[in-house]
Amino acid sequence: MVVTGASSGIGAAAAEEFARRGARVALVGRHPDRLSQTLERVRAAASSDAPPRGFLADFDVLADVRRLAEELAGAYPSIDVLCNNAGGIVPSRQSTVDGHERTIQSNHLAPFLLTNLLRERLTGGRVVNTSSDAHQGGVLDAAHLDSPGAYKPFTVYGSAKQANILFAAEAATRWPDIVSTAYHPGVVRTRFGRDSFVISLFYKVTPFLLTPAKGADTMLWLAGAPKEDVTNGGYYVKRQLRQPSGITADSAALWEASVAAVGL
């Protein structure tokens, strides 16, 4: 099991539960201290002889993603499940060193690149993309992935979440031997939106938010449910197949645009 965005929140909760169930887990995070702390908790929970391992990578840097793919491919001859969970939202337009808008790169382009680079290791396995019902507010345009024009954080984030759904749908067509899905975790109390005071405050003070463990439930189910119970390319909410709404882009066009954007 490879879980990105595993330093905290949903990713950390999922990694811990995978380890508790006996899986060999690789945790990917960008912050060394937080990753190290989470790795200790996951090791304590592990029930297999294979200890979990940590891998550092910054998804704002595509060269880091390529290095990560090489390290994972070198460490694991096969990967049963890749959980693309890393991502986030920023309050204002920011460009990465690769020249892309930061939200679309961290949420879609980086996991798209990682998954493609690990494609052979994933033969017969599964890909689970953490999306969101926020996709309904997106206006994804495959021809303009970097969202030119006035910057609206939640719209751009919604577009990135549409990309997660469309990536899974198109992967199911192109890679039928891999079960690819996307899911909505619910509104979870995590470090989401940490770069925005307003967004982070909302997640700190709003009552009735889900715990990371509850937010990870559908991810865990998609990773381990019998394959006949999972629709390849599907979008799931609370373990139920749902029809995404408000999708504004074509999955094949998005795939080709993403290939060009990451240099595959």
Residues with a catalytic annotation lie at 157
Which 3 state secondary structure label does DSSP give 108? helix
Please answer whether residues 185 and 212 qualify as being in contact, where contact means their C-beta atoms are separated by less than 8 angstroms: no
**Other CB atoms closer than 10 Å to residue 73's CB: what's the count?**
14
Short-list 148, 172, 134, CA closest to 251: 172
- Placement of tokens 């005071």 in the chain: 197
* Cβ-Cβ contacts under 8 Å for 68 (sequence gap 6 or more): 28, 55, 57, 114
Token duo for residue 78: 């096969």
Q: In this structure, what is the dihedral angle of CA atoms 119, 121, 127, 130, given to the nearest 10 degrees?
A: -90
**How far is it, in rounded angstroms, from Cα 68 to Cα 126?**
19
Return phi, psi of residue 119, to 5°: -55, -45
